[in-house]
Structure 1
């Protein structure tokens, strides 16, 4: 490993790295504020507009489709223009869209601008991952990102609490205005602080561009690449398998976000208690995210696929516990805590530390977008499949079938991670022999 990787950071490098970490952390919180505020306002919007509540599903579906497509678009644009540009453009467009939502009365306009918002929102995670990729060394990436990737959970808490307060006090229009106003300050912070690499502020590089800490794909590390180089990365089979693994993760995570409170309610908890107990999944997920980052550096020595395999096996154990726990809602909620602890590790790694490592730091934004794009199909499919299961089955039978489906997806996750682990071992053995 070169001297760049081993040289202690200067005070200026440390200060700027803290700026970047804080800036990207708050930036993704801003993305959440302008992404999900619609989900808590849609009932009130439908009532005020005289729509059926089910009609709002078309508005949100337009967002989900655009978000999935936008991952691929932004992964290329981020690799071509750099993370800072796509963060400024994406977050700026999202602020404008949310402000317009607060002024709208037209169903077609909601659908059209929600699609635009989805494309803009898709710049968030690739841009933030790309934004920190050249500020973190491989040996510390897991521990730091284990904490850093809690940003989406914090964003969830803020938009639900503050957005709910604005909704209840001044109505849904001001909920949109308020989230846009707050995010405008976040956008200004990105404008002032965000730099793609230390050299942009006259500092020495923090990372070694030739470092192969977890690297498995040979790709250009230039600041800007032609479309042909992007396609070379996008079509690599390893990236596709990472996408399948992340598809499984997002299928499971969004299924529990959407259905767990209802399942606990069916099993006997009141609606409010079901909501509270479903948070066990998220709370253990925070701990699991930090734990996965810690063991990535300390125990697995950067082998992100090995950590994901370990967590995948744990997810299977968690779902087996759920299935055999019976219908006691308290026991079931605790068993889902095991699932949350194990599932959030791969969730953070596959589009975090792994995305930065697998094709080199310069390609982190591209890999993140591609993997997240494949994974983003999962939430759409799970909603349709589980919704159909619950619609065509008795409640208890529907829950049982949904859990078996989730167990199957956790097996798909584990098999994908097993292949990734084998492949990385093979690549590193080949490098060692050379």
Structure 2
């Protein structure tokens, strides 16, 4: 039973975090369509009765870059908070809240302006910052749950396998965008938001934060109640400064930062540049871009 639970935890956390990545891939995959809508530079010659939100392509590209930068800034800052909160609350519930909140922010950013013909720079900036803040709850709390269930000598191997959820999520996001984009870019945001809500429901109903919590709810035949409670007793969570000063934390952070420079350049802009440079459709660009994540 315990082994089956571990497999379930692995799969649910794997695909729930893959959905986090798939949802943040949405803007990356529809930048050309979004920019065409903002500037009224539409290859389908769709009639517009509203003034262009952004007058030039260059300004639209700059605004998209600003959105990416603000998303990452909000994401980076809030990682500290969500990790701290997950240590003090049930990390599963934090993940569920973040997934539902991310879904709400994503559809508010990408779908509602198109449906309501409401284009506002402050609105776009605010909703995407909120999206970044909520997206950050996933990684520290998913890792915390995995750490609770998978300890011992094989943790490195298991976590190495589990970390593939990030490129898998990117692949899922790109393929879903290619599938839904013919309906309109706004539906890619709505579809990914719906998947996030579904994923949150699955997380809430299927997994526990740790095996210790299960042993408290269903005491084993060879275990006394006091022993079950003792298994759930953990040390006091350390503070942010203490965590930062742990051996090798800062060097690892700096190394990962350098890798992220390259990774997120491709993550945010590869489909857009393939469309602009080679004239490919966004569907083809998104489909081809998955090879970076496969590699």
Which TM bucket (shorter chain)?
A: 0.7 to 0.9
Do structure 1's residue 17 and structure 2's residue 1 form an aligned pair?
A: no
Aligned residue number for residue 7 of structure 1: none
Say whether the 8 Å CA contact 1:81–1:224 is kept in structure 2: no
Aligned residue number for residue 120 of structure 1: 134
Structure 1, unaligned runs of 5 or more: 1-11, 206-220, 285-434
Say whether the 8 Å CA contact 1:42–1:53 is kept in structure 2: no
State the Cα deviation string for residues 385-425 of structure 1 (Å, max 9, x = none): xxxxxxxxxxxxxxxxxxxxxxxxxxxxxxxxxxxxxxxxx
State the Cα deviation string for residues 26-81 of structure 1 (Å, max 9, x = none): 11122123222112223222322332422222222221110111111212112222
Residue correspondences, number = 253
2:155 to 131, 135, 141: 141
Do structure 1's residue 199 and structure 2's residue 188 form an aligned pair?
A: no
Q: 1:131 to 1:204 in 2, by over 3 A?
A: farther
1:85 to 69, 93, 96: 93
Cα distance in 2 between the residues matched to 1:100 and 1:177: 9
Say whether the 8 Å CA contact 2:14–2:162 is kept in structure 1: yes
* Within-5 A mapping of 1:10-49: 12-49=1-38
Q: 1:31 to 1:263 in 2, by over 3 A?
A: closer
Cα distance in 2 between the residues matched to 1:39 and 1:243: 25
Q: State the structure with bigger RCO (CA 8 A, min sep 6), 1 or 2.
A: 2
Q: Tell me the CA shift for residue 238 of structure 1.
A: 2.2
Do structure 1's residue 239 and structure 2's residue 253 form an aligned pair?
A: no
* Within-5 A mapping of 1:213-362: 223=234, 225=236, 229-255=239-265, 257=267, 281-284=292-295
Q: Tell me the CA shift for residue 234 of structure 1.
A: 2.5
Say whether the 8 Å CA contact 1:82–1:224 is kept in structure 2: no
1:180 to 155, 179, 193: 193
2:60 to 44, 53, 66: 53
Q: 1:111 to 1:125 in 2, by over 3 A?
A: same
State the Cα deviation string for residues 317-363 of structure 1 (Å, max 9, x = none): xxxxxxxxxxxxxxxxxxxxxxxxxxxxxxxxxxxxxxxxxxxxxxx
- Relative to the length of structure 2, the TM-score reads 0.75
1:63 to 64, 71, 75: 71
Structure 2, unaligned runs of 5 or more: 39-51, 221-231
Aligned residue number for residue 427 of structure 1: none
What's the Cα RMSD here?
A: 3.2
* 232-241 or 183-192, larger mean C-alpha shift: 232-241
State the Cα deviation string for residues 284-337 of structure 1 (Å, max 9, x = none): 3xxxxxxxxxxxxxxxxxxxxxxxxxxxxxxxxxxxxxxxxxxxxxxxxxxxxx
Q: Tell me the CA shift for residue 179 of structure 1.
A: 0.8
